[in-house]
């Protein structure tokens, strides 16, 4: 017996898309990366906060999206 999946509704497709956008797999772990970034940039502002936040973001997703070597090349200021 062949199993034919029911086509997804437009709403289901949109919900799945936004779930992957708002909670991508390469940022998931025991702690939300955004919470770690908030702690890392506490007391900083402007480009200092932006640069540190970006560095933390790339380090946290190392091994899940690209290699650490590529990440470090992209993130000159680490």
pLDDT digits (tens, 9 = 90+) for 18-28: 666 666 665 56
Considering only CA atoms, which of 26, 9, 18 is closest in space to residue 60?
26
| Mean pLDDT (whole number) for 36-45 | 94
* Mean pLDDT rounded to a whole number for the chain: 76
**What is the pLDDT averaged over residues 1-17?**
75
């Amino acid at each position: 017996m062949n199993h034919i999946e029911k086509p997804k509704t437009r709403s289901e497709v949109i919900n799945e898309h936004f779930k992957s956008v708002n909670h991508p797999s390469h940022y998931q772990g025991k702690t939300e990366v955004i919470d770690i970034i908030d702690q890392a940039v506490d007391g900083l502002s402007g480009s200092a906060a932006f640069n540190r936040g970006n560095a933390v973001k790339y380090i946290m997703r190392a091994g899940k999206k690209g290699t650490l070597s590529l990440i470090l090349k992209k993130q000159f200021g680490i």
